[in-house]
């Protein structure tokens, strides 16, 4: 019985991981790095509508009214945790996980120079690949 429950849990978890598409996540990360609140908010709304239905316990900000980019950046910390933990390894092969010690947060981005979504243009290159 325990083996059956483990297998059922594994199958359910595996199907959820395939639901996450990094395309919109990367758009949001880039928009935040460019201080573009409107574009970042649009990406967040698309992810909430299309990808995050299985992650409502981990990411509770779908439907939230964000008053400014700082609130959205704070929400991006939680969103990044969900995507880092659940993204498809094949999809991650062309990407990196980076970390900003000042923001105490990680994110996923394309390979190349650091583009910090938590401080945007004011500290665009602050962070390190991990």
Integer CA distances (angstroms), 29 to 5, 62, 70, 123, 124, in order: 37, 17, 13, 14, 12
- pTM equals 0.84
Q: pLDDT averaged over the chain?
A: 87
Q: Is the pLDDT reported for residue 21 higher than 90?
A: no
Domain range summary for the chain, segments of one domain joined by +: 21-129
Sign of CA dihedral 88, 94, 99, 100: negative
pLDDT tens-digit series, residues 37-48: 999 999 999 999
| Mean pLDDT value across residues 67-93 | 93
């Amino acid at each position: 019985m325990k083996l059956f429950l483990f297998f059922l849990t594994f199958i359910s978890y595996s199907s959820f991981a395939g639901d996450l598409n990094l395309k919109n996540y990367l758009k949001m990360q880039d928009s935040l790095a460019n201080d573009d609140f409107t574009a970042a908010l649009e990406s967040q709304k698309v992810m909430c509508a299309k990808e995050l239905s299985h992650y409502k316990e981990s990411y509770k900000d779908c439907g939230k009214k964000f008053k400014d980019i700082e609130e959205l950046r704070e929400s991006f910390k939680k969103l990044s945790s969900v995507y880092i933990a659940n993204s498809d390894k094949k999809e991650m092969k062309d990407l990196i996980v980076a970390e900003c010690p000042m923001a105490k947060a990680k994110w996923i981005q394309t390979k190349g120079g650091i583009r910090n979504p938590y401080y945007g243009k004011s500290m665009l290159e602050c962070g390190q690949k991990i």
